[in-house]
Amino acid sequence: MNEERLARFEAVYRQTYGQITAYAIRRCIAPQDAADVVAETFAIAWRKVDKLPRGEPALLWLYGVARKVLANHYRTDNRRRARTVELDGEMTDLYAAAPESGVEAEAVARVFTTLPDDDREVLALVAWEGLDREEVAAVLGLTRNAVRVRLHRARKRFARALTEAGVRTDRLVSTEGSL
C-alpha cells in the first residue's frame, strides 16, 4: 500500500470527519442512518483517494459524495417502505382468502409490521417466497441451523404479538411450511 495515499486519506479523514458527520446527522432521521452515510462516504473516498482534491476542496468533494450517498439511502429506504406496504397487502390478502382460519386480516398485517426487520424477512421468505430453510440460508448467508433458530424465534414472536393483539394463532403457527 502506498504510504503517501494512506497518509493523505487519514489527514482528510481527521480534518473533515466532524463536518461530514454533522452534515449526515442533520439530514437523517436515525443516528445509525447517519453513521451508515458517513461510513459509506469515507469508503468511497478511500476507493477514490487518487481523485480526492487536495486542501480545502476535499471537504466540498466529500459533501458531494455524501449528498449522493444520502440520495441512494433515501431511494433504498423509500423502496423498502413501498415493499413493506406491498407485502403487508399480500399478507392481508393471504389470510383474508382463508376465512376459516379465524384470522383478522388487518390485525395480522398490522402486527406483522411491528416485527423486527430480521423476523419479517425470514417469515416473508418462507411464507411469500415459498423458500425452504436451506434456500433461506443461501439468501441470508446463514447456516441452515441458524435459519431454523431464527425462523422458530420469529414464529414465536409473531404468534405472541398476534395473541397480544387478540388474534387467534392456532392456524398460523406450525412447525414447517407456514408462519
What is the domain-level CATH number for residue 109? 1.10.10.10
- Global pTM exceeds 0.95: no
Asked, for residue 87, whether it belongs to a domain, the answer is no
Expressed as residue numbers, the domain containing 110 is 102-179
Between 102 and 53, residue with greater pLDDT:
53
State whether 67 and 116 are in the same domain.
no
Q: What is the pLDDT of residue 179?
A: 52
Q: Which of 166, 162, 1, 179 is nearest to 90 (CA)?
A: 179
Where residue 177 falls among pLDDT bands split at 50, 70, 90? very low
Q: How far apart are CA 152 and CA 155, in angstroms?
A: 5
Asked, for residue 140, whether it belongs to a domain, the answer is yes
The total of structural domains in the chain comes to 2
Asked, for residue 120, whether it belongs to a domain, the answer is yes
Q: What is the pLDDT of residue 92?
A: 63
State whether 69 and 140 are in the same domain.
no
Between 129 and 14, residue with greater pLDDT:
14
Q: How far apart are CA 89 and CA 87, in angstroms?
A: 5
Q: How far apart are CA 36 and CA 131, in angstroms?
A: 30
Asked, for residue 83, whether it belongs to a domain, the answer is no
Asked, for residue 82, whether it belongs to a domain, the answer is no
**Out of 41-50, 62-71, 127-136, 149-158, which region has the weakest mean confidence (pLDDT)?**
127-136
Between 130 and 37, residue with greater pLDDT:
37
Domain-ending residue, one of 62, 77, 92: 77
Q: What is the pLDDT of residue 173?
A: 46
Where residue 39 falls among pLDDT bands split at 50, 70, 90? very high
Calculate the average pLDDT of the chain.
82
Asked, for residue 86, whether it belongs to a domain, the answer is no
Q: What is the pLDDT of residue 171?
A: 53
Asked, for residue 33, whether it belongs to a domain, the answer is yes
pLDDT at residue 174 tops 50: no
Between 14 and 133, residue with greater pLDDT:
14
CA angle 169/175/177 to nearest 5° reads 90
Q: How far apart are CA 79 and CA 56, in angstroms?
A: 36
